[in-house]
Structure 1
């Protein structure tokens, strides 16, 4: 699981153009059919009425093909971030952040202590505890992609400070906002 995100991050940092597939259907066959032909999956929980159960089914479907699954979450939804990560997402994109403090809070929700405050739920991400837990904790933060969406004038004004937040992997521009 972690290698897929580390490779995804490396490719982004190298300036490669990556093509993702947005999954908006409930049938996991959609994600299974695209698994070998996309650089990453994008699941949208901000504008799409996909349940966490449907998302979990999709994430389990694509888990073993090593294609990163990134999930956009609505603003100010810390409990949902935890649920998405527990379901096995490789990363999150937090929508509509406005301030550095909001970005720092999102990063903290995604990272385990002492770096953050993510709770430990040893199920899907840990292969149902079949993996070495001490090794999992060591690798988990490096193997998770965290980005935020810049969609407001306030966030644009703070962009230099936002991109400097430790633990943030990237920003996505909301081009229509």
Structure 2
């Protein structure tokens, strides 16, 4: 059983990566680098149900075969195995249960507007008597065993704060019993506070204030505070600002960015 859930609940600093491509070999290689978690994006990513299953299997395979290795010419020592999370397509019991059945260590639930929304997400991810998840551990049972309470303890539920309503209700959302943490979607949050497009500089001050408010609400409630970032520098800064976990960019963004960078060097 992974101790990821315990580390996240203890508000340890964790760093993750984001995957949108249905490419298990590349996902496996990313999971060998040393990130604490890799998120498979089932909402906006190009991943079917089978893609989620294959991606989670690839992440587990990376952990099983991971030892001291060389990444970019440098030696990297293996620590705790990277775990797979899934950003589900909606706050609905079916995709939440499907992701956990496929072996996800946790779910990130989008568009959570109220404490009632958050409570529903928690119930959908937990077995009775505390939840409504249907018993069918399938692949998830390979690691957590057949006892429902063990699954509940080993998996996490994270609510996205990315809407005007979610921001307005963030303190109540963070106080939801059973919720392990929140996760900021900066693109949608920027639009929610009046931005014309993600990263709109005209709303930078109000956006930054929202980011601070969310981190403070999570700290007050004693839950994990996560945020998506475009690069390692920003992720590091967010961790110094009170966030306890941060995700760095994505596979498709890095693929395009590095390809363009090398092309620019060649063409001078």
User: TM-score, normalised to structure 1's length?
Assistant: 0.87
What is the alpha-carbon distance in structure 1 between the residues aligned to residue 141 and residue 152 of structure 2?
A: 13
Partner of 1:127: 142
Shift, 1:98, TM fit: 0.8
SS of 2:110's equivalent in the other structure is strand
- List per-residue Cα deviations over 1:47-78 (Å, max 9, x = no partner): 11310101101111222523121111123332
1:42 to 33, 39, 42: 39
Matches within 5 A, 1:74-93: 74-93=89-108
Contact in 2 for aligned 1:109/1:118 (Cα 8 Å): yes
Aligned to 1:141, the other structure's residue is in SS state helix
User: 1 CA distance for matches of 2:179 and 2:105?
Assistant: 14
Asked if the contact 1:2/1:144 (under 8 Å) is kept, the reply is: no
Gaps spanning 5+ residues in structure 2: where?
A: 64-80, 189-268
- In the TM superposition, what is the alpha-carbon distance from 1:126 to its structure 2 partner? 1.1
CA root-mean-square deviation:
1.9
Say whether the 8 Å CA contact 2:113–2:165 is kept in structure 1: yes
CA distance in 2 between partners of 1:157 and 1:132 (Å): 39
1:3: which partner in 2? 3
Q: Give the aligned partner of residue 17 of structure 2.
A: 21
From 174, 192, 195, give the equivalent of 1:163.
Answer: 174
| Structure 2 residue 29 is the aligned partner of structure 1 residue 33 | yes
Aligned residues: 169
Aligned to 1:150: 161
More helix by share: 2
Structure 2 length-normalised TM: 0.59
Name the CA distance, whole Å, in 2 between partners of 1:165 and 1:98: 12
Q: CA deviation at 1:29?
A: 0.8
SS of 2:86's partner is strand
Question: Is the contact between residue 40 and residue 67 of structure 1 (CA under 8 Å) also seen in structure 2?
Answer: yes
Unpaired stretches in structure 1, ≥5 consecutive residues: none
